[in-house]
Amino acid sequence: MKIIENEDLSSIKKRIRQATEQTVDPVIKQRVDDIIEQVRQRGDAALKDYSQRFDGIELTDLAVSKAEIDQAYNRLDEKVRTALEKAAQNIQSFHQLEVAQSFEDDSVPGVIRGTKVTPLARVGIYVPGGTAAYPSSVLMNAIPAKVAGVKEVIMVTPPQKEGLNQAVLAAAKIAGIDKIYQIGGAQAIAALAYGTESIPQVDKITGPGNAYVAAAKQAVYGQVAIDMIAGPSEIGILADDSANPKNLAADLLSQAEHDVRARAILITNSLNLAQAVSDEVEAELKTLPREEIARQAIEQQGFIYLTDSIDDMLALMNEVAPEHLEVQLENPKQYLAQIQNAGSVFLGPNTSEPLGDYYAGPNHILPTGGTARFSSALGVWDFQKRIQYLSYSENALQRDASNVIALAETEGLDGHARAIEIRGEQND
């Protein structure tokens, strides 16, 4: 891995910001716009055409039957099924802590002010196919929606010549998904956003996908809600001399193996550690089945930054705003207060990042590309909305009328003033 020392903080920051600037390929954008238009006009017929063209599969039925889902669950290796069920329990119990509650306030005399927190009615979850078909992502998408109280959780996933991924179907059953359709790509996003004969329109679409899926989600944003535009995986590690270089190398590679564009960044104040990790990465790379992907990622997007102090390390990592952040420093929890930008934080030597990917309970659908500056993990909050309400007594209205009228008149909105005045006239 490249070790960068003696570079000033501002030039490092600039490089990081540039690396994470969002761009959408205009060719992909145009194709996606066309696909969306076709699905809006031709519904299921368009979906079937695209499946034939892009997936090479002639679909008769878009819906996946309950029998097929049950069979996948029953035939799944018991060890994997148990692991999925335990993971689901942990995800459920963690997300239960996120549920927002309705509130009502009567502190202003004659006025009731409240907020009713309520779930979205119907949401759609995108689950990629092929080698990126991850049962863990099914759990991470669906369980927060179910905890929020969403009545209908719909999953879409690309059809596969060899049949749908069985662990994905089993995970859908464990997570309580209500309906599965085998359709992928931009056409699946369009179907969820606008509805077709088979697929109902949803209120929100969540879940990661390829560049076409990401572009389609951006295009339908506003028509429906979306979670985020997911980019390549990232891991940032803050470490000092107390850390174990073998562990750090393994953790860096656990993200690098996802994607040639994945980012793996170590920031440390120890040259010894930097060199040891760099050597271990090289050694461990050779043992990985996905060596080629991980090697490209490490060569292109892997960096070890050397800085003088832990304060500098933290400042720089806040610029990176990584999706996953490991803190492999002595007494790691004390630094939580200084961490401003990160999707999910892993504290101490035993908290390897894959624990969060699969099992412990926090969500693994996280902001990437520096967007942890302003966004958060997928959570129950993504599936709840808030409806405000207000009730005024006659006395309270009389008391406040002159102030409201003064403001309406300042803004030149006499109709607003009139709506208040007219009640006073009747009450006199």
Annotated catalytic residues are 323-324
Of 360-399, which residues contact its own copies (CB under 8 A)?
360-363, 371-377, 379, 381, 385-394, 396-397
Distance separating alpha carbons of residues 202 and 152, to the nearest angstrom: 9
**β-bridge partners, 264:** 235, 302
Binding mask 210-249 toward its own copies (x if CB under 8 A, else -) reads --------x--xxxxx---x--------------x-xx--
Q: How many residues bind its own copies (CB under 8 A)?
A: 127
Fill in the per-residue mask, 302 to 321: x = in contact with its own copies (CB under 8 A), - = not in contact.
Answer: --------------------
- Ranges within 3-32 binding its own copies (CB under 8 A): 21-22
Check whether 233 is labelled as a binding-site residue. yes
Shortest CA distance to 301 belongs to which of 267, 269, 338, 259?
259
Determine the interface stretch with its own copies among 48-56, 88-96, 155-163, 299-307 (rule: CB under 8 A): 88-96
* Residue 134 sits in the site that holds its own copies (CB under 8 A): yes
For residue 411, say whether it is annotated as part of any ligand binding site.
yes
Query: Looking at beta carbons only, is 46 or 408 nearer to its own copies?
Result: 408
Backbone angles phi, psi at 260, to 5 degrees: -65, -20
Which residue in the set 10, 18, 60, 131 belongs to the binding site for its own copies (CB under 8 A)? Answer: 131
d(CA 428, CA 406): 20
What residues numbered 337-356 form the site for its own copies, per CB under 8 A? 339-340, 342-356
- 89-108 residues near its own copies, rule: CB under 8 A: 90, 93-94, 97-98, 100, 103, 105, 107-108
- Exactly one of 9, 45, 63, 121 binds its own copies (CB under 8 A); which one? 121
CA distance 53 to 32: 14
126 carries a ligand binding annotation = yes
Q: How far apart are the first and last CA of the chain?
A: 80
**Closer Cβ to its own copies, 285 or 306, answer by number:** 285
Q: Which of 37, 282, 311, 414 binds its own copies (CB under 8 A)?
A: 414
Known binder of ligand: residue 364?
no
Give the shortest CB-222-to-its own copies separation in angstroms.
5
Looking at 97-150, which runs of residues are DSSP E strands?
A: 103-105, 111-119, 122-126
Separation of CA 82 from chain center:
25
